[in-house]
Amino acid sequence: MVSKVAIVESLGEQAVLLPKLIASALAANDRLKIRLTLLQEASAQASEPGRAPPDLESERRAAGLDDRAFDAIFSGARPLDAGHFTAPGAAALVAGMAGDLVAMLAPLEVAGGEEAASLKARLEAIVTGLPAFADDRVSHSDVLSLASARRRAGDSLHLLVMDLHRAINKLASETAVEDVDGAAAAGLEETARERVRAFMRGLNRTKSLAFGHPGLATTAGQLGARLSIQNDIGTTDAHVLVVRVEGLTATTTYTDVHRPRAKFFMSLFEGSGVVWSPLGEKRQRNLAEGEVFYLLNGVFRAADATELDRFLELLGSRIVFLIDWNKARKALQLFADKKAAIEILTNAARRDEGHRAFLELGGAELIYEAVRNAASGRIAYGVPLDKALGEEECRGFLRNVLHVACEGLKDGRSTRLIRDEIQADLSQRLDTAEREILAVALRHLGLTRMLAGMIEAAFLPDDLASVEERRALAARAKALEAKADRLTVDARRLSSRLRDAGDLLTLIDQIEAATDCFDEAAFLLSLAEGDGASRISAPLTLLASVATDSVAQMTRAIEGALLIPNGKREDAAFALKCIDAVGDAERAADTAERAAMAALLGPALSGAEARVIVLGLEIARTMEDATDRLAHAAMALRARLLQELSE
């Protein structure tokens, strides 16, 4: 449906000029941006002569600068002195800037208004002050001044172009004679309308994910065979997207002041067939931070109209994910590194969820609240979240925060419910961190149980180990003990993330001490020579069996404890029962140790060498000590379980 707004009616006959004037102004905007880019590249090339110059032919031609001589402005740039360089064609390039500025102002003058008058005054001042670049001699400082985006540093060509562009977009919207699925358009042929509809299908599909943030206004116009679609993205001066469609080729020009966001934008089109300019990977090294914008050009050549529409729809659907992107990245970087934060934002965009809901609900404060409520007393003071949870688990949590926030706002859930869901997820992940420690302790006990079983087998009367076998056992025990030590280090590292991890540390330390005892017993057994081992085997057989059973019961106790967070309360009873059995084994080991001592010092070994008896007594002591250590570990596990069950 065609409709005109009041401003069009007030302009009378002059209004018919506006669509073409606006289209010409937007084309001039494209030329001015590529002129600035060429000058910046020339400045960079002169500062670093050895670098390979970029190929900007497609970008230059897309902007309407068809003279190939302009390519030499940076490929032929050479330094003259510290502050100057020569760039072939620089004078002609700057000379064209005045005409482009006048073309941008033209539709605004036709429309009239106070803004047009102030912009005209600024334009006249800028044109008067444009450097001539006589003999193609260029000053680095002049390039810096032309490209400056810092308003506090004074007016500049770049600032004027941005303000003119914004005013033109506003005028285009206000004077549009047609609404194409939400895009303010003028002068479109039917084929161009189809392209705009494709773009708007994508934009309208995801625009609700802005959750009320201003931006995403789209204008479209046609000049000859070229269709221009523009979107203001958000409210940042230099954050604009322009799509030029001519035939089956779509050229996307994207400007941004944040290099990481520009790279993120490109990543959203991986596999789509877009060929991006190299500008996304470069920064002019002689320009100060904040004084340069990044201009990207992406060319997509479609095989047919269907493929072209599919790309335009994809392009339109991705724009919402650029709004407040840098703010979201900085918020996430309080809890994860930069690479992880960008990966999380990319993941959210690819799921068509984004980050605006996360920011709408408080951003970083949303996560801080979850930490305060769900992790208070559980994370050690000063430990970052990615260290407390582990990097991958933390990424998973942050991904879920963005997911829950988006789904919650889309479904109309209360803010309190969304916050509760996030806190519950964090609490479960902290439980996972504790379970990791128990899982490591379980692996450690597997090695301990193997070692205890090997010692028990060495005492079997019907299969008594030989001297060589006992020495091999000692070597094997040392290797197992070293492997167990590495697991102890892992468990301590995990426990350092948690607050009030005393019981878990006791569990870890006591299991390690028990393993050391078994390792020492294996070593002592290897020292027995001749018939020494056979004379002490009988008194120690029962004690070795009890010690092995003690490790087995401790293993079962931790297996049961690992199942409790899944809601299996019967596993709590099983774990406590096994803990009690470890205590029983410790008492049985006391009795077995005394029986072994009585036998070793009794009449049956009265003729044995003193060293044999001493070895037997030391082996008995170390194995009984192992059961003591396991009993302490069991009590630490019991205290942890009872604390969790009472919460």
Q: Which amino acid is at 628?
A: D
pLDDT at 5 over 50: no
pLDDT at 339 over 70: yes
Q: Which amino acid is at 547?
A: A
Tens of pLDDT, residues 172-200: 877 777 889 998 887 788 999 999 999 99
What local confidence, expressed as pLDDT, does residue 62 receive?
74
What local confidence, expressed as pLDDT, does residue 582 receive?
93
Lowest mean pLDDT among 75-89, 102-116, 402-416, 543-557: 102-116
| Residue 379 banded pLDDT, cuts 50, 70, 90 | low
The interaxial angle of helices 140-147 and 157-174, nearest 10 deg, is 30
The dihedrals phi and psi of 298, each to the nearest 5 degrees, come to -120, 130
Most confident of 16-20, 215-219, 561-565, 629-633: 629-633
What local confidence, expressed as pLDDT, does residue 451 receive?
93
Question: How far, in Å, CA of 505 to CA of 507, rounded?
Answer: 5
Domain with CATH 1.20.58.220 in the chain: 429-646
| Residue 497 banded pLDDT, cuts 50, 70, 90 | low
Closest by CA to 415, choosing from 332, 355, 357, is 357
Helix (H) or strand (E) holding 559: helix 532-563
Tens of pLDDT, residues 571-615: 678 888 899 999 999 999 999 999 989 888 877 676 667 777 888
Tell me if residue 512 falls in helix, strand or coil: helix
Is residue 257 within 8 Å of residue 238, measured between CB atoms?
yes
Which two three-digit tokens encode residue 581?
């059995």
Burial classification of residue 443, based on how many CB atoms lie within 10 Å of its CB (0-12 exposed, 13-18 middle, 19 or more buried): middle
Handedness of CA 314, 320, 323, 327 (dihedral sign): negative
What local confidence, expressed as pLDDT, does residue 50 receive?
75
What local confidence, expressed as pLDDT, does residue 9 receive?
35
Segment 42-49 shows an average pLDDT of 87
pLDDT > 90 in the chain, percent: 46
What local confidence, expressed as pLDDT, does residue 381 receive?
57
What local confidence, expressed as pLDDT, does residue 3 receive?
30
Segment 388-417 shows an average pLDDT of 90
What local confidence, expressed as pLDDT, does residue 628 receive?
95
Superfamily the domain 429-646 falls into: Phosphate transport system protein phou homolog 2; domain 2 (1.20.58.220)
- More confident: 494 or 219: 219
Question: How far, in Å, CA of 34 to CA of 290, rounded?
Answer: 19
pLDDT at 331 over 90: yes
pLDDT at 383 over 70: no
Tens of pLDDT, residues 276-293: 886 544 344 433 444 456
Closest by CA to 619, choosing from 560, 535, 497, is 535
| Residues near 568 by beta carbon (within 8 Å), at least 6 away in sequence | none
The dihedrals phi and psi of 240, each to the nearest 5 degrees, come to -135, 145
What local confidence, expressed as pLDDT, does residue 563 receive?
79
DSSP string for 463-480: G---HHHHHHHHHHHHHH
Closest by CA to 236, choosing from 324, 319, 318, 298, is 324
The interaxial angle of helices 391-411 and 364-374, nearest 10 deg, is 110
Is residue 91 within 8 Å of residue 132, measured between CB atoms?
yes
Is residue 310 within 8 Å of residue 274, measured between CB atoms?
no
Is residue 101 within 8 Å of residue 158, measured between CB atoms?
no
Average pLDDT over the chain, rounded to an integer: 84
Segment 95-114 shows an average pLDDT of 88
Tell me if residue 353 falls in helix, strand or coil: coil
What local confidence, expressed as pLDDT, does residue 236 receive?
55
Chain centroid to Cα 80, Å, comes to 44
The dihedrals phi and psi of 211, each to the nearest 5 degrees, come to 50, 55
Tell me if residue 254 falls in helix, strand or coil: strand
| pTM (predicted TM-score) | 0.57
| Residue 411 banded pLDDT, cuts 50, 70, 90 | very high
